[in-house]
Amino acid sequence: MDLPIFGTWESGNRKYLLTVGDLGDSTATLLWLKREGKIAPPVNAPVAKQVTIAEKPGDARKASVKMVFIASSCNFLEMYDFMVFGYYAPAIARAYFPTTSQFVSLMLALATFGAGFLMRPVGAIVLGGYIDQRGRRLGLLLTLSLMALGTFSIAAMPTFKTVGIIAPLVVIAGRLLQGLSAGASVGGVSVYLAEISTPGKEGFYVSWQSASQQVAVMLASLVGIGVGFLLPAKSVEQWGWRIPFLLGCLLIPALFWMQSALEETPAFLRSTRRPGTMEVFKSVAKSWRIITLGMLLVILTTVTFYLITAYTPTFGTAVLNLSVSQTLTATLCIGLSNFILLPIMGSLSDRIGRRPQLITAAVVAVISGYPTMLWLTSQPSFERLLIAELWFSLIFTAYNGAMVVYLTEIMPPEIRTSSFSLAYSLAVGIFGGFTPAICTWLIHLGKNRAAPGIWLSVAAVLSLGAIAMLSRRREPIGDAGSSVIAQET
């Protein structure tokens, strides 16, 4: 059987694989690469295997790209479905939450959008614990299965007018199921990429977790633009909004097929300590300080992301009075900008360090958040919306490119997925997921269309506080060299 390849090391005329496989007796076969240029088996690895691949110099790179691509695709359905729900929130509000007040209906739909995020902490502990016990590969397949069920339930559910109260209840249940899955999906993918990364490129590898989500943002925008172009507005409001959800269902078999080829990480296979369910709960409880700081660290990235993606179509049409096609086109451009910039920013964090990049991005967000929104709303136009959103895209990618990998580095190794997922899920559930609803409420409360900028600046201040409370020291992570382990100060 072919062994998965995770890196190479050259010595003289020979090139060696960094590889891990499974022998017939389930004994891990490992070739460990140390930064000082020596080959030695890791702790508790009974067998070390050396392989010469001078005749196939491109195999390692191809295998690495393949694993990054497959792992990153685990986020695709989650983000695609969330974006579609955000884009069509007004239509979903009328279909499942009809009231005499358009504002109340929209708030109910946005609250349903946010309700899925309340299940993320549960998914982080339950499914995250499963991933820490059973492996990264099996866990990611499970999260995809749950996400697929949630997507189908929303796509196929008749309206309130047809089946009554059952309709909104099923839609809410579908969102909760998706939230449960998403609670461990981001953490599972991020940890997987961190553990297969090569030394000195952890930020670049992990950045593809977020970059893959931008592909979903772009596809959702393109589908929305296509639906709006092919169907009249009335048809989109009545039934056309379901088309993007149904297309998401059609992608599910392809995603399962790709992820079935996912290999387990060397770090997990060589680990001898697999915590049980109760042990995971106890370890998470003991690590509450670092998890709380991790949650605060994530706030800026999640608030900015949902502000410039899921909320943009609603904000553009309901507040700025722009057309649906204009707001979706702006969102498409944001997705493309994020996709291009995230790997660049992840690589930059490998060069200059996580903390300097995090601090710079957060300070810029504090200073420019409200003035940018005030400039946009003073004379709303597609051009101004695009410029403002691209500016926020730069802030988001600079911060996120360093933040996600930093979060994998500060968590306890034996519960890395559980603790990462819980910190991330709490931030998304409390702050990011409800950003559309909070922004809508702030605008309604103060009659100030620039109010979302205030919310962005508040998020930046909270994240800056977390960064200030974290100090650093260098320790190895997974199989990929050294990383920064943070401590509370």
Report the CATH number that the domain containing residue 389 is assigned in CATH: 1.20.1250.20
Residues 53 and 119 occupy one common structural domain = no
Tens digits of per-residue pLDDT, 297-310?
A: 999 999 999 899 87
For the chain, the domain total comes to: 2
Q: Is the pLDDT of residue 269 over 70?
A: no
- In the prediction, which pLDDT does 270 show? 64
Residue 316 and residue 396 in one domain: yes
3-state class of 163 per DSSP?
A: helix
pLDDT band (50, 70, 90) for residue 56: very low
Q: Are residues 22 and 171 in the same domain?
A: no
Same domain, residue pair 320 and 449: yes
pLDDT at 184 over 80: no
pLDDT for residue 363? 97
CA–centroid distance for 184 within its chain: 10
Residues 47, 195: one domain? no
What mean pLDDT do residues 169-179 have?
83
> Which residues constitute the domain of residue 446?
62-488
Residue 151 has pLDDT above 50, yes or no: yes
Q: Which of 22, 38, 57 is at the close of a domain?
A: 57
Specify whether 316 is located in the same domain as 329.
yes
Instruction: Looking at the structure, tell me whether residues 198 and 347 fall in a common domain.
Output: yes
Q: What phi, psi does 484 have (nearest 5°)?
A: -100, 125
Say yes or no: 169 and 51 in one domain. Answer: no
Same domain for 471 and 330: yes
Last residue of a domain, one of 57, 75, 100: 57
What is the rounded distance in angstroms from the CA atom of residue 223 to the CA atom of residue 227? 6
Phi and psi, residue 3, nearest 5°: -90, 140
- CA–CA gap between residue 245 and residue 326 (Å, rounded): 21
Strand, helix or coil for residue 21: strand
Phi–psi pair at 412, nearest 5 degrees: -60, 130
Task: Give dist(CA 194, CA 415) in Å, integer.
Answer: 14
Task: Give CA–CA dist 40/112, Å, rounded.
Answer: 52
Q: Alpha-carbon distance 173 to 82, whole Å?
A: 14
Residues 100 and 223 in one domain: yes
DSSP state of 403: H
Write the CB contacts of 56 (distance below 8 Å, at least 6 apart in sequence). none
Same domain, 270 and 365: yes
434 shares a domain with 395: yes
Which of 10-24, 93-107, 132-146, 426-440 shows the lowest mean pLDDT across its residues?
A: 10-24
